[in-house]
């Protein structure tokens, strides 16, 4: 089976790691299922002349076994000697922590990009080092063209009373504490889907949207020309997993992002964001309308909800494997017989 997923950073990566483990346990064994991950690149930032791709790196490290498990980003066994030296020189910014091992990824990616390789080619090389192909995992950036999510915030001192800041500054330095007026995917107007992205959606047997941020991760990938149409047109069942439990994000600042686009922070409202292509939506038991049996309730927009029978949380690999298995089974149940 060919499974295609769209993913942001931490939650998506943990879910896909669980999905891979679930598929490996199925009777046919690991070789029976190929998983393609379309990774968000809107979080990308250039620092000290280096191209940093946080969501792609979180996927590489999580799926390749090098992730800092507690943070969900960056490397395990990390040191920060270079960062301390940069601070000693007064190099800016100092709010984005780059570890010594992580820097090797940015250095080699920047070198290869500088030699003319595409982001897809670079990502394939990085994925090979992390053993993803051997696991039946293909990681594709959503686009080879640079796209950066910027956040428009109110600023009385700025012209017009607003200014745009890079997503990472809003997310990391401000911890999303400043209300976002809107998000702009800078470069999206000139971007095209990376090679294989639209095909992976169109030819999939199953498409799954992990519990990534619906606005700044999945929302950005959906903005890549052709992606949303491919999701609407694919014969594969498309199943998503709510990133909210009881109106709050499981992690990150999805609620701050949703309020910026005027969407209620509920599983149903988020599901309705994708109702034009979703066939199933897995929600926390507390988020299914009261009294509804699994699979029989609907979002306000009419999307069919299926309540998972335990919280959507993924505190460990085993729970991620169970949740991913439930999403996969829901998708299989929606395949035309
Ligand atoms: N997140 C933080 O909260 N603080 C950091 O200093 C930080 C550094 C960082 C470096 C590399 C990287 O790949 C991710 C990093 N992140 C950091 C996480 C990152 O901001 C988010 O994971 C994504 O951009 C949102 O999914």
Q: What DSSP string runs through 79-91?
A: --HHHHHHHHTT-
Instruction: Describe the strand order of the beta sheet including 148-154 as a list of residue ranges.
Output: 162-166, 148-154, 180-186
Within a domain: 123 = yes
pLDDT single digits (tens) 245-293: 888 888 888 899 999 999 999 999 999 999 999 999 999 988 887 666 5
Q: Whose CA is nearest to atom 13 of ligand 1?
A: 54
pLDDT single digits (tens) 256-267: 999 999 999 999
Q: Whose CA is nearest to atom 2 of ligand 1?
A: 172
Average pLDDT over residues 103-129: 98
Within a domain: 83 = no
Within a domain: 17 = yes
Within a domain: 176 = no
pLDDT single digits (tens) 178-235: 999 999 999 999 999 999 999 999 999 999 999 999 999 999 999 999 999 999 999 9
Ligand 1 lining (C-beta closer than 6 Å):
8-10, 43, 52, 54-55, 57-58, 73-74, 96-98, 102, 168, 171-172
Atom of ligand 1 lying closest to residue 99 CA: 10
Q: How are beta strands 280-283 and 238-241 bridged, if at all? A: parallel
Average pLDDT over residues 58-67: 98
In the reported structure, the alpha carbon of residue 256 is separated from the centroid of ligand 1 by a whole-number distance in angstroms of 17
In the reported structure, the alpha carbon of residue 277 is separated from the centroid of ligand 1 by a whole-number distance in angstroms of 30
What CATH number is attached to the domain comprising 209? Answer: 3.40.50.10680
Within a domain: 22 = yes
What distances in angstroms separate CA 137 from CA 121, 129, 256, one per listed residue? 15, 13, 32
pLDDT at 231: 98
**What is the domain range of residue 129?**
2-66+104-145+194-248+264-333
What distances in angstroms separate CA 256 from CA 147, 160, 171, 248, 303, one per listed residue? 21, 23, 10, 10, 24
In the reported structure, the alpha carbon of residue 27 is separated from the centroid of ligand 1 by a whole-number distance in angstroms of 37
Instruction: Give CB contacts under 8 A, 24+ apart, made by 125-128.
Output: 126/56, 126/60, 127/60, 127/64
Number of domains in the chain: 1
Record the tokens describing residue 310, joined without a space: 């335990």
Helix 10-25 × helix 317-333 angle, to 10°: 70
State whether the Cα torsion 19-24-27-29 is positive or negative.
positive
């Amino acid at each position: 089976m060919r499974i295609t997923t769209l993913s942001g950073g931490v939650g998506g990566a943990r879910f896909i790691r669980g999905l891979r483990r679930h598929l490996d346990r199925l009777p046919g064994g690991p070789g029976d299922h190929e998983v393609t991950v379309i990774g968000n690149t809107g979080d990308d930032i250039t620092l000290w002349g280096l191209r940093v791709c946080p969501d792609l790196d979180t996927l590489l490290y999580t799926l390749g076994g090098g992730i800092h498990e507690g943070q969900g980003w960056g490397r395990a066994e990390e040191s920060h000697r270079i960062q301390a030296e940069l601070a000693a020189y007064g190099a800016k910014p100092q709010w984005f922590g780059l570890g010594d091992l992580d820097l090797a990824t940015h250095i080699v990616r920047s070198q290869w990009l500088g030699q003319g390789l595409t982001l897809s080619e670079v990502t394939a090389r990085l994925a090979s080092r992390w053993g993803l192909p051997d696991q039946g995992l293909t990681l594709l950036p959503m686009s080879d063209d640079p796209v950066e999510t910027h956040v428009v915030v109110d600023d009385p001192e700025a012209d017009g009373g607003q200014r745009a800041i890079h997503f990472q500054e809003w997310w990391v330095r401000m911890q999303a504490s400043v209300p976002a007026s809107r998000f702009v995917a800078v470069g999206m107007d000139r971007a095209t889907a990376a090679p294989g992205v639209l095909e992976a959606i169109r030819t999939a047997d199953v498409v799954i949207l992990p519990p990534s941020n619906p606005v700044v991760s999945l929302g950005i990938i959906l903005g890549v020309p052709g992606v949303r149409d491919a999701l609407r047109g694919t014969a594969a069942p498309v199943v998503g997993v709510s990133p909210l439990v009881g109106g709050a994000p499981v992690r990150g600042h999805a609620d701050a992002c949703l309020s910026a686009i005027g969407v209620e922070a509920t599983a149903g409202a988020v599901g309705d964001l994708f109702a034009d292509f979703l066939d199933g939506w897995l929600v926390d038991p507390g988020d299914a309308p009261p009294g509804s049996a699994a699979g029989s309730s609907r979002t306000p927009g009419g999307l069919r909800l299926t309540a998972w029978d335990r919280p959507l949380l993924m505190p460990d690999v085993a729970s991620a494997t169970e949740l991913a298995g439930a999403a996969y089974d829901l998708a299989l149940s929606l395949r035309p017989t």
